[in-house]
Every structure is written in C-alpha cells, then in structure tokens.
Structure 1
Amino acid sequence: MADATDHAFYDRADAHIELSNEQLKTYGNLGEISASMLFGTSRFNAWASAQNFKSAAEMADAREALLKYFCDQYRMMLEDNLDDHINNFGQYVLGK
C-alpha cells in the first residue's frame, strides 16, 4: 500500500469514496453502490493491466499472476480497513 506520506494516493482514494457517497444519496442502496465500485475497480485494473502487454496471448499467459497480485492486494487493503473500522467503530459508525 502507499506510504503514509503519499497524500496523493489517499486523495485519489477519497475522491472515489466521495463519488460513492454521492451515488448513495441518489440511489440509496449501499450494497449496489459497493458492487458498482468494486466492478469499476476490477474493470479499470483489467484495462490498466492490458496496457502492459503486446498481445492477448501474452496477457492470457499472465492471467493467474495478475489475479494473484490483485487479490492479494485487495485482501491486504481490506484487512487493514476492517481492522481500522473495528478499532474505531464507535467513531466511524456510531459517531462517538
């Protein structure tokens, strides 16, 4: 994950979260907003990954490594954020 001093990393992440929060006001379904954000992230990452290959065959050969990388990264980030919400549940969820 990004170094704590990489404020641009967190600013970009916060911009995505802000968009989802705005969509929540319009569509009102937290699960659907979360699913759309996850789908968008996976689609963008597939596109970004494709930029590093010269052919579909080359990308297909790297498919498993790409899946492992992105799944490992997502798990690490989700674990960190779950722990943060567990440790700060009163503040984040209950507003205390």
Structure 2
Amino acid sequence: MSQDNNSNIEITPEMQAFYQRADAIIALANNQLGPDAHSGQVGASLLYAAARYSASVASIGFVKGDDFAKEKEDIIEFYVKQYRQMLSDNLTDYAQNFEKYIQLNKADGEAE
C-alpha cells in the first residue's frame, strides 16, 4: 500500500480515500502487465495518463485557452513539485521496506 508507515500520523477518512484511489489505479496498472506489456511500458502509459488527466484537471475554471496557456509554467511547476515529493517519499519507503516489498512482488507477480 502507498501509505506512510509513520505511526505518528493519523490516517483521516480523506487520506484513506486518497490511498484507496491510488491503490485501485496501481491494481489497474498491474493488471496491464503481461506478455505484451512489461513494467516499463505500463509505467510509461501510467505517466502519460497522469499527465493527460492533470492537464484536464488544471484546465478546470478557465474560460479561454489563451488564459490557460499563460499559466502553463506555473501549472507545470506545481505538478512537478508534487510528483517529486511523492516519488521521493515512495523511494524512501521502498528502500526502507525493500525486502518485504520484493517478497510481496514475487508472490503476487506485481510491479508495485
């Protein structure tokens, strides 16, 4: 699961829903693995989907494409900062729990 294992953090219902959505998306990605798609290919598709969805979300509230385009660099900066922090947190978690995650992945045949 993608949750922070720090026992000092209370998992609110909103956080639980966040992690459940993320886990559902990871499960969908894992279901795409097979003879025609390895983890690198599925990961690339997942990144593309995240970028495509984020562009759509970022466009909400704009009336004109020109106004939206003017905000492009700020939008990119926001999403890159968020992704960098999430990736860093998950790399740290994965490194700290490496043996456990490797055993789970071997048992499940998943890429998570």
Structure 2-normalised TM-score? Answer: 0.77
Offset at 1:51?
1.4
3-state SS of 1:43 partner: helix
3-state SS of 1:27 partner: coil
Partner of 1:31: 40
Q: Deviations over 1:12-36 (max 9, x none)?
A: 0000000011111463411000000
Cα RMSD after superposing both structures: 1.5
- What is the total number of aligned residue pairs between the two structures? 93
Partner of 2:101: 92
Partner of 2:78: 69
Q: 1:26 to 1:9 in 2, by over 3 A?
A: farther
Q: Which structure's residues are more often helix, by fraction?
A: 1
Q: 1:26 to 1:7 in 2, by over 3 A?
A: farther
Runs of at least 4 residues off by over 3 Å: 25-28
Partner of 1:4: 11
Offset at 1:4?
3.2
* Structure 1 position 79 matched with structure 2 position 88: yes
Structure 1 unaligned regions, length at least 5: none
Structure 1-normalised TM-score? Answer: 0.90
